[in-house]
Amino acid sequence: MALKNFTKTKIMATIGPASDSVKMLRALVDEGVDVFRLNMGHMAHDVARVVIGRIRAISSRVGILVDLQGPKTRLTEMEAPFTLETGDQIEVHAGEEASTRQALYIPFGELVEKLEVGHRLLIDDGLVQLKVTRGLPEGGIVCEALNQGEVKSRKGVAAPDLRLIPDHYLDAGDLDDIAFAARSKVDFVAASFVSRAADIAAVRNALGKAGREIHIVAKIESRVGVDNLAEIIDAADGVMVARGDLGVEIPPEEVPLVQKQIIRACTEKAKPVVVATQMLDSMVHQPVASRAETSDVANAILDGTDAVMLSAETSVGSYPLEAVRTMAKISRYTEREGTLGKDRFNRPSSNAVEFVCKAAARCAGELEVKAIVSLTASGFTARNMASFHPRVPIFATTPNQLVVRRLAISYGVYCIQAEHIGRYNVMLYRSLQKLKELGLLADDDLVAVIGGVPVGKPGSTNLLQVETVKVLMTVE
């Protein structure tokens, strides 16, 4: 078979009312979606359970990511939205009471206590901007509206002049969502507003034995998260550049360079990275992307991202299928015509796996190699191979179907399940035979094979073979 609609840059699509039907889910998979995202801030467990069942019935290859709400600060509920005019005064208090035109309430009391005169309070991704003018004797603060804007229930609140880390990263709602993710055997959990490595440890501990196979993707959405990036990358299994909240917590003009910084740091650690938020935002309401959005997606790919994500475009948009199709077209063209800097080959290798993978990527760039074949038990070798963004696809084989789905967010990897039993040459023979049966390789194709001995030990990659499939299938 040909790789229908395959892109080396993986596509993640958020599920919602516009895309949760069996017909639409199947169509999205056919167009190239590699991972589906379930946003627990907008999806009840009973709905999510049905969606997960539908996805698993459609494809055993597609990954499923459950996105936790995390410690995002939000306004309390209110009876109806209201508009603030520039210069209007409004009180802000800590508490669970309903917000009104006279006073806004925020459950995260420490934030209100720490705000000082002159500090900014940004509501709804900065659409409403307030500035603290004075404190109140009985507690709380008074703010002045810096612009006209509508205030709505449960909208996010950011205080970019503070660097607060919550005492408790996970609340009862997050713990409930984590337990649901573990029971549902999803492939990834996205941890929102990660500030430090301890937050990842908290999620991993909450997943427990039932969720030990689930990989954790850390969402970088705050200045503190950027400051602690190195330790977060080490603790997490992957990272998401969540540009929506990040662009509120830090000045928007800093986001492009921070995005490049995060991608570069993840690549050096061979951790998959996803660029997310407003990538094709105009396609929520129209069937074509803007030129700026097209450039945004292409530049993320050229920066070295593993995956790109669609949010409202596929969850509530009018053109979910067209959005995925557009993302795939941009990806394929950029991968084919664009070039990544050769500096990815300049970083020193810290172990044999990195050295072998680097050599294979250089080989693919200089010889007429059809593909790189990676025999991987845990996915570790394939992820390292992906970090070098080789010119050709990475055909990974693994005995574990869970690994197939975990590699769904790693650049260039097309993973299949195949037996890894016996000597290395036997494993290689069976893997190549399976790839031939699928029509992915032919006898005369030149391939670069990376593997290792002892067989089955994660991280033991120490072999690189460059030969035709026919010669490699000669078992001694």
Sequence-separated contacts (24+) of 91-94 with Cβ below 8 Å: 91/136, 91/140, 91/141, 91/142, 91/143, 92/121, 92/130, 92/140, 92/141, 92/142, 92/143, 93/139, 93/140, 94/139, 94/140
3-state DSSP call for residue 92?
Answer: strand
Q: How many CB atoms lie within 10 A of CB 381?
A: 26
* Beta-carbon contacts of residue 8 (< 8 Å; ≥ 6 apart): 331, 335, 389, 393, 411, 412
Question: Diameter of the chain by CA atoms?
Answer: 85
- The answer to whether residue 37 is catalytic is yes
Say how far apart CA 213 and CA 227 lie, in whole Å. Answer: 28
- The answer to whether residue 277 is catalytic is yes
- The answer to whether residue 26 is catalytic is no
Residues in the chain, how many? 476
Say how far apart CA 139 and CA 233 lie, in whole Å. Answer: 39
410-408-452 Cα angle (round to 5)? 60
- The answer to whether residue 83 is catalytic is no
Estimate to the nearest angstrom the gap between the alpha carbon of 74 and the chain centroid.
23
Query: What is residue 99's DSSP assignment?
Result: P
User: CB of 466 within 8 A of CB of 448?
Assistant: yes
Say how far apart CA 219 and CA 382 lie, in whole Å. Answer: 23
Cα–Cα nearest to 379, from 273, 271, 307, 466: 271
Tell me the backbone φ, ψ of residue 305, rounded to 5 degrees: -65, 150
- The single residue of 277, 294, 398, 461 carrying the catalytic annotation is 277
DSSP state letters, 186-232: -SEEEETT--SHHHHHHHHHHHTGGGTT-EEEEEE-SHHHHHTHHHH
- The single residue of 7, 8, 9, 37 carrying the catalytic annotation is 37
**In sequence order, which ranges of 271-400 are alpha helices (DSSP H)?**
291-303, 312-315, 320-337, 352-366, 380-386
DSSP state letters, 329-354: HHHHHHHHH----GGGGTSPPSSHHH
- The single residue of 74, 101, 269, 332 carrying the catalytic annotation is 74
- The single residue of 10, 219, 370, 383 carrying the catalytic annotation is 219
User: CB of 346 within 8 A of CB of 330?
Assistant: no
22-215-65 Cα angle (round to 5)? 25
Say how far apart CA 416 and CA 435 lie, in whole Å. Answer: 8
User: CB of 307 within 8 A of CB of 10?
Assistant: yes
Say how far apart CA 376 and CA 396 lie, in whole Å. Answer: 7
Q: Which residues form the catalytic set?
A: 37, 74, 219, 277
